[in-house]
Amino acid sequence: MKRWIGFVLHLAMIVILTSFGYYSVTETVDYKVPDFLKAGTDLEITVLQDSISAEDEVVYPPFLGNAYNGFKEALAFKESQGKYHAINTLGYLGKYQFGLSTLNLMGVYNANDFIKNPALQERTFETNIARNKWILRKDIKRFNGKRIRGIEITESGILAAAHLAGAGNVKKFLRSYGKNDVADAYGSNISQYMRKFAGYDISKIKQKRNAKV
C-alpha cells in the first residue's frame, strides 16, 4: 500500500510538472511587428517580452549619480535594459521605448532610421524631457516637494511618469492626488515611476514649448 501511494504521488508530480512545462513552451506572444521591420533589417533586434525585466528586483543598472545622465540611464535600464535595438511586444522602439506617435510629435518620422541611430535616440529623449517640462511646468511648480499616497513628488519623478504614461495622465494623477493612477500594458503605473525615479537633478534640460529633434 505504501509503495502504491508513493507511486501515485510520484506520477501526479510528473503530470503537474509536465503541464507547466507544456504551457511555457506553447505560450504565444501577440507581437506587433512595426511596418519597417516587415521588409527586413540588418539589425540584430532584441524583442522585449515586457517593459519590466523578470529580474527587475535583483538586477540593477550601474549607479551613475543623481544628475541627468544618471536619470536617463536608470530610466533606459527600466525600459529596455539600455538596448538601442530593443522593440517590445507592442512595437515600442529603442533604448527609451518610444511609440511612433510620440516620435512624430517631435519630428521623427522614419522608424528605421531611429532604431539604427543611437545618437538620434539620445537627442529624442532629451527633446521629450524638454517638451514634457513645458507641458507640466505648472504642475511641477505646484506639487514638487509634496507627498501623494506616501510618495514624495519630485520633478524627475513627474517626468519619468510622463515618459511612461504621457503628460496628460500625469496631470490627472497629480490633480486627483493619486486617484487616477494609470498603468501601461505591462502593469507599470505612474506612482511606481514617481517613486522609482524621484530625486534626480535634471535642471540641465530646460523646458521648451513644441520641442522638436
Q: What is the pLDDT of residue 143?
A: 98
Q: Is the pLDDT of residue 33 over 60?
A: no
Averaged pLDDT score across all residues of the chain: 81
Within-domain flag for 130: yes
* Secondary structure, 3-state, the chain: CHHHHHHHHHHHHHHHHHHHHHHHHHCCCCCCCCHHHHCCCCCCCEEECCCCCCCCCCCCCCCCCCCHHHHHHHHHHHHHCCCCCEEECCCCECCCCECHHHHHHCCCCCHHHHHHCHHHHHHHHHHHHHHHHHHCHHHHHHHCCCEECCEECCHHHHHHHHHHHCHHHHHHHHHCCCCCCCECCCCCEHHHHHHHCCCCCCCCCCCCCCCCC
Within-domain flag for 188: yes
Amino acid at 115: I
**Host domain of residue 60:** 31-196
Q: Percentage of the chain with pLDDT > 90?
A: 66
Partners of 151 in the beta sheet? Answer: 148
Does the predicted TM-score (pTM) go above 0.85? no
Least confident of 61-70, 93-102, 177-186: 61-70
Q: What is the pLDDT of residue 43?
A: 54
Q: Is the pLDDT of residue 30 over 60?
A: no
Query: What's phi and psi for 149, nearest 5 deg?
Result: 55, 40
Within-domain flag for 212: no
Q: Percentage of the chain with pLDDT > 70?
A: 70
Q: Is the pLDDT of residue 3 over 50?
A: yes
User: How confident is residue 65, by pLDDT bands cut at 50, 70 and 90?
Assistant: confident
Query: Tens digits of per-residue pLDDT, 192-201?
Result: 999 999 999 9
Partners of 115 in the beta sheet? Answer: none
Query: Tens digits of per-residue pLDDT, 96-105?
Result: 999 999 999 9
Within-domain flag for 4: no
Section 154-174 average pLDDT: 97
Within-domain flag for 162: yes
Within-domain flag for 13: no
Indicate which CATH number applies to the domain containing 61: 1.10.530
Number of domains in the chain: 1
Which of 55, 73, 77 lies closest to 64 in space, CA to CA? 73
Q: Is the pLDDT of residue 180 over 50?
A: yes
Within-domain flag for 22: no
Rounded distance between C-alpha atoms, residue 134 and residue 117, angstroms: 26
Within-domain flag for 126: yes
User: How confident is residue 27, by pLDDT bands cut at 50, 70 and 90?
Assistant: very low
Q: What is the pLDDT of residue 149?
A: 94
* Cell numbers for 161: 511618469
